[in-house]
Structure 1
Amino acid sequence: MDQPLVSVIIPAYNASAFIAETLESILAQTYRNLEIIVVDDGSTDTTAEIVKYYAPRVKYLYQENSGSCAAPRNYGLKEAKGEFVTFFDADDIMLPHKITSQVEALIAEPTAVMSVTNYRNFSESERSTDHFSTCLKLKAIIDPSIKGGIFLPPEQCRAILIDENFTIASAPLFRRDTLNELGGFHESLTACEDFHLIYRAATLGGATVSAKVGFERRLHDLNMSSDNERMIKNLIKSRLDLINYELEQRLQDRLRKRVQRYRRDLQACLVNKSRLYDAAKLYPQTFPPKSFSDLNHDVRQGLKALWQYTTNGGSQEKTR
């Protein structure tokens, strides 16, 4: 029986330090019918030379820098020919069984729109436990002994995603038809675009979820974002937009509750930057507090803002 073609799309920006190891891990897959596409998002290092070394097994595409992962992933999707598609970061390591197990899971469960594997983080100094072990709601229902994992119906999948965000860009294998229906990633998001796509996919169908680790996510200085404000703003923006796709009222309410939590996180971030005016502008959206935890947060941030205001002699940084 012929294997369906699987397209692996890798966005890359100044990825010369790690991309060779990433490509070697993909080429070592037990699944052989692969189309590997690297989309260079305007790199200024030797990423192009390294990737072209792997031709013709790896296809190299180039575009001007977009400032996010969404645009190069969409470019790769436009060029991809696979029946199944996975997106993979240029510094992660794919374990040999990942794609084989995911294709088998999607063939066995025709109503699933994606297959999701577990993963673990690693750095030069350590390897963490697997990610699913930190997701208590998912951990309570997943059975590691079941080959191919369990099937999460659409509504249950979205509910757990809201609470635990159990997956990231490199984990899912999608049906190509699903991605075509979704229209790819939203390029207005400069972060959280993967969660946004995965959640929208779960409005179309369920997911198979396997406790088996399928890849290792590399943590290093270049991919650990120091721009917390940008990240939190995209968390808010993505969840607010997803309310428009969510038909279940209880899940809409949970998305709104999550947005309120992120708005409080943004307030704390702005207070830490001494941007008290910008933090104060958020209070009409977060007041009144909905819980004791919210009240405690507001009191602590208010005291901190007052201390900063008096310490700085009444001056504050303000953005326009």
Structure 2
Amino acid sequence: MDKPLVTVIVPAYNASDFIAETLESILNQTYDNLQVIVVDDGSTDDTARIVQSYSPRVTYIHQANSGGCAAPRNRGLEYARGEFVTFFDADDIMLPDKLSRQVDALIRHPNAVMCITNYCNFTGTKRSTDHMSTCPAMVPYLDRHKSSDFTLGSEECRSILISENFTIASAPLFKTDIIKKLGGFDQTLKACEDFHLIYRTAMQGDVVVNPNVGFERRLHDTNMSNDNERMLRNLIASRHDLSLNETNIVLQRHLKHRVRRYRRDLQTCLVLKKQLSKALKLYGETFPPQSISDLNHDVRQGIKIALHGIAPGKFPDRQH
């Protein structure tokens, strides 16, 4: 039987320091029926020259900067010809058997909508333990199945994702037709768009999990997750949207609980940044408190805001 074509889409922005290493790791996969697309999201460095040096094995597409990862990923999806598709960050390293294991898993589990692989983080030469083993809800599955694939039912997978996000953008291999049917990534999100798409995909059917480390995620100062306020606002937006579309009442309630918690976290973040009027306005979205922890949080933040001298009806933002 012919190997199904796999499309690998790499969004890149000023990625010249790492893009060659990333592309080498993709092109050196043991699975060789690949379509590799790099979408340059308005880079101003040497990204274009480096990527074009890999032609014709790699297709280079340029677009104006979009300010996020969703738009370049969706642009690449327009050109995807593979039966399966994966989105791989321009600074991650794909281990040699990642795609072969994932394709094999999806062939053996034809009802699954995607295969999610494990990963580890690295900085320089230091590598962390695998990510899934740090997720308490995943540990029983790992202990039971060791290094073998296992399947999560649709609702089972979504429940775990809400409680502890065990995956990121570079991990899944999707069925392309399903991703295109879903419209790809939500471009209104400037972070958490990967969780949003993975969750929506899990709503379409079973999910296969490969517990082996399939790639290494590079951590450095420019990682988008370092912007706490931006992450919290997108955590709120992504989970709120999912709660509106979630058909399972219990999972819908869990998503709404997450939104309330993230709003309280955002309030704390804004108080620390002295953006006090914005922090005060969040009380309307989190009141009334639903637990002793919520009540303690509200009291602490209220005291901090009061100590900064905000009079009723006056909400000056104090930014440093």
- TM exceeds 0.5? yes
CA distance in 2, matches of 1:115, 1:143: 19
> Equivalent residue for 1:121?
121
> Equivalent residue for 2:158?
158
CA distance in 1, matches of 2:91, 2:211: 22
Post-superposition offset of 1:6: 0.1
Map Cα deviations across residues 30-63 of structure 1 (whole Å, 9 max, x no partner).
1010111000000000000000111111110111
Contact 2:154–2:203 (Cα < 8 Å) also in 1: yes
Q: Is 1:290 matched with 2:282? A: no
Letter in structure 2 aligned against 1:294? D
- The 3 A distance-change label for structure 1 pair 271 and 283 is same
Letter in structure 2 aligned against 1:30? T
Is there any run of 5+ residues in structure 1 with no aligned partner, and where? none
> Equivalent residue for 1:242?
242
Contact 2:276–2:318 (Cα < 8 Å) also in 1: yes
CA distance in 2, matches of 1:67, 1:282: 26
Post-superposition offset of 1:302: 2.2
CA distance in 1, matches of 2:6, 2:219: 26
Letter in structure 2 aligned against 1:270? L
Q: Which one is further off, 253-262 or 287-296?
A: 287-296
> Equivalent residue for 2:186?
186
> Equivalent residue for 1:32?
32
Letter in structure 2 aligned against 1:32? D
TM-score (norm 2): 0.95
Q: Which one is further off, 212-221 or 296-305?
A: 296-305
Q: Is 1:108 matched with 2:111? A: no
Post-superposition offset of 1:318: 6.6
> Equivalent residue for 1:18?
18
Post-superposition offset of 1:127: 1.5
Post-superposition offset of 1:110: 1.0
Task: Provide the alpha-carbon RMSD of the alignment.
Answer: 1.7
Contact 1:143–1:150 (Cα < 8 Å) also in 2: no
> Equivalent residue for 1:251?
251
Q: Is 1:171 matched with 2:171? A: yes
Contact 2:133–2:142 (Cα < 8 Å) also in 1: no
> Equivalent residue for 1:99?
99
Contact 1:10–1:90 (Cα < 8 Å) also in 2: yes
CA distance in 2, matches of 1:148, 1:112: 16
- The 3 A distance-change label for structure 1 pair 143 and 83 is farther
Letter in structure 2 aligned against 1:61? I
CA distance in 2, matches of 1:177, 1:146: 31
Letter in structure 2 aligned against 1:305? I
Post-superposition offset of 1:224: 4.5
Question: Equivalent pairs: percent with the same residue?
Answer: 62
Post-superposition offset of 1:305: 2.4
Letter in structure 2 aligned against 1:53? S
CA distance in 2, matches of 1:53, 1:229: 38
Alignment of 1:1-320 (within 5 A): 1-124=1-124, 126-143=126-143, 145=145, 148-309=148-309, 316-317=316-317
Q: Secondary structure at the match of 2:163?
A: helix
TM-score (norm 1): 0.95
Letter in structure 1 aligned against 2:126? E
Post-superposition offset of 1:146: 5.2
Contact 2:277–2:315 (Cα < 8 Å) also in 1: no
Is there any run of 5+ residues in structure 2 with no aligned partner, and where? none
Contact 2:229–2:266 (Cα < 8 Å) also in 1: yes
CA distance in 2, matches of 1:141, 1:226: 30
Q: Secondary structure at the match of 2:212?
A: strand
Q: Secondary structure at the match of 1:90?
A: coil
Q: Which one is further off, 221-230 or 77-86?
A: 221-230
Contact 1:105–1:148 (Cα < 8 Å) also in 2: no
Contact 1:142–1:149 (Cα < 8 Å) also in 2: no
Map Cα deviations across residues 55-75 of structure 1 (whole Å, 9 max, x no partner).
111110111111110010001
Contact 2:280–2:305 (Cα < 8 Å) also in 1: no
Q: Secondary structure at the match of 1:130?
A: coil
CA distance in 1, matches of 2:200, 2:297: 31
Q: Which one is further off, 281-290 or 257-266?
A: 281-290
Contact 2:276–2:315 (Cα < 8 Å) also in 1: no
Map Cα deviations across residues 235-286 of structure 1 (whole Å, 9 max, x no partner).
1111111122210000000000000000001100110111111111111211
- The 3 A distance-change label for structure 1 pair 144 and 26 is farther
